């Protein structure tokens, strides 16, 4: 079966170095909580081991993104995002049938975001952008990002809203206490906190009227929708139009402006639930490589309760349509 995986990551030395100081401030125990040397070796490999793993596990195409851009301050953000995007473009040239790119965006410099997205799409051939969490506490519905969102809508490319590290105040108030530093860090990030934060960012965009302003804008969220798919009914009953001034119910925006992926959470019950809530046409496949192995990817699709037509949509057809892949 042809498989396209939507949330696969790569490393770039300059962008990682530029964000190192901010990363240490937000996640002082990052090394202890996430220090898997082998994972980081694979992260920086865009040729040998990565292609080998794709071949062995029948992954046709990886959609690649870098998750470090939102850690970089305004002094270097534009420069290193361009470097990372050019580096990815070179890898795509080497492997044109295996990789698709999502642009790293210098959100610390809002006025530069639209220009870099346009360059990546029109000159480098990228299929969209990826944003990891907030920047200086700001969500994407902040007015400073309107030009960027308008450009994504104009270019008709999606934005992958990837989890990022919650602000320091949130970590302190919600995820510290009677916990070891390593456990607190994991709880604030991949164990729980950054999923909630990513879902909160998307909900902010819905409730602030972002999708009334940009009705064709498409977002992608991993981990089965970063908690949002569980609350469709609750959102509709809680946020009445008289309160929000929105043109539609909150769940309508989530069903029309959001795609979701599993991000390596290969759980049949979650797949079934998401098919019932958001529909198979809004579900894309992803592994979250190299943080998650590609070994179980094909088996999860083939052994799922989906029909053969639904399996094809999940595995590749929905991604090909959204990203306009040939």
Dump pLDDT digits (tens) for 40-82. 899 999 999 999 999 999 999 999 999 999 999 999 999 999 9
Question: In the numeric block, which tokens belong to residue 22?
Answer: 């901010």
Res. 35: pLDDT tops 70: no
If you count them, how many residues does the chain have?
326
Entry pTM: 0.97
The pLDDT score that the predictor gives to residue 32 is 64
The pLDDT score that the predictor gives to residue 37 is 74
CA 166 distance to own-chain centroid? 15
Domain assignments of the chain as residue spans, ordered by start: 4-323
Residue 215 pairs with which residues in a beta bridge?
Answer: none
* C-alpha span between 215 and 200 (Å, rounded): 19
Res. 312: pLDDT tops 80: yes
CA–CA distances in Å: residue 15 to residues 47, 79, 85, 113, 123: 19, 9, 10, 16, 21
> Average of pLDDT values for 190-218?
97
> Average of pLDDT values for 120-148?
97
Look over the chain and give the mean of its residue pLDDT values, rounded to a whole number: 95
The pLDDT score that the predictor gives to residue 182 is 83
Res. 283: pLDDT tops 70: yes
pLDDT bracket for residue 326 (50, 70, 90): confident
Beta strands 128-132; 159-162: pairing state: parallel
pLDDT digits (tens, 9 = 90+) for 82-98: 999 999 999 999 999 99
> Average of pLDDT values for 122-138?
97
* C-alpha span between 59 and 51 (Å, rounded): 9
The pLDDT score that the predictor gives to residue 180 is 87
CATH topology of domain 4-323: TIM Barrel (3.20.20)
Crossing angle of helices 168-175 and 193-207, in 10° steps, is 120
- Helix residue ranges, H only, the chain: 13-18, 20-26, 30-34, 37-43, 48-56, 77-94, 110-122, 146-155, 168-175, 181-188, 193-207, 210-213, 223-226, 232-238, 241-244, 250-257, 268-277, 297-302, 308-312, 318-323
> Average of pLDDT values for 193-217?
97
The pLDDT score that the predictor gives to residue 279 is 98
Crossing angle of helices 193-207 and 181-188, in 10° steps, is 30
pLDDT bracket for residue 33 (50, 70, 90): low
Contact 136, 108 (CB under 8 A): yes
pLDDT bracket for residue 28 (50, 70, 90): confident
Closest to 310 measured CA to CA, from 287, 288, 283: 283
The pLDDT score that the predictor gives to residue 301 is 98
* C-alpha span between 267 and 263 (Å, rounded): 11
């Amino acid at each position: 079966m042809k498989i396209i995986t939507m949330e696969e990551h790569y490393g770039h030395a300059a962008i990682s170095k530029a964000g190192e100081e901010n990363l240490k401030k937000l996640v002082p125990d990052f090394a202890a909580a996430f220090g898997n040397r082998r994972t980081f070796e694979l992260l920086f490999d865009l040729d040998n081991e990565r292609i080998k793993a794709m071949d062995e596990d029948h992954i046709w195409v990886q959609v690649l993104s870098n998750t470090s851009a939102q850690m970089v301050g305004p002094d270097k953000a534009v420069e290193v995002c361009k470097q990372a995007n050019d580096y990815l473009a070179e890898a795509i040239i080497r492997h044109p049938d295996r990789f698709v790119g999502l642009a790293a965006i210098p959100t610390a410099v809002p006025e530069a975001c639209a220009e870099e997205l346009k360059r990546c799409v029109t000159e480098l051939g990228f299929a969209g952008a990826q944003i990891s969490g907030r920047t200086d506490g700001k969500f994407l519905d902040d007015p400073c990002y309107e030009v960027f969102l308008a450009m994504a809508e104009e270019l008709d490319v999606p934005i992958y809203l990837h989890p990022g590290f919650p602000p320091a105040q949130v970590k302190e108030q919600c995820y510290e206490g009677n916990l070891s530093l390593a456990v607190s860090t994991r709880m604030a990030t991949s164990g729980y906190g950054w999923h909630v934060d990513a879902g909160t960012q998307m909900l902010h965009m819905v409730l602030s009227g972002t999708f009334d302003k940009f009705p064709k804008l498409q977002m992608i969220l991993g981990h089965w929708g970063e908690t949002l798919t569980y609350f469709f009914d609750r959102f509709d009953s809680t946020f009445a139009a008289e309160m929000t001034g929105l043109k539609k119910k909150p769940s309508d925006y989530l069903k029309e402006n959001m795609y979701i992926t599993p991000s390596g959470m290969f759980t049949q019950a979650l797949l079934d639930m998401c098919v019932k809530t958001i529909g198979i046409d809004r579900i894309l496949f992803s592994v979250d490589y190299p943080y998650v192995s590609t070994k179980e990817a094909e088996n999860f699709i083939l052994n799922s309760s989906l029909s053969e037509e639904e399996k094809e949509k999940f595995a590749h057809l929905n991604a090909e349509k959204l990203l306009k892949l040939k």
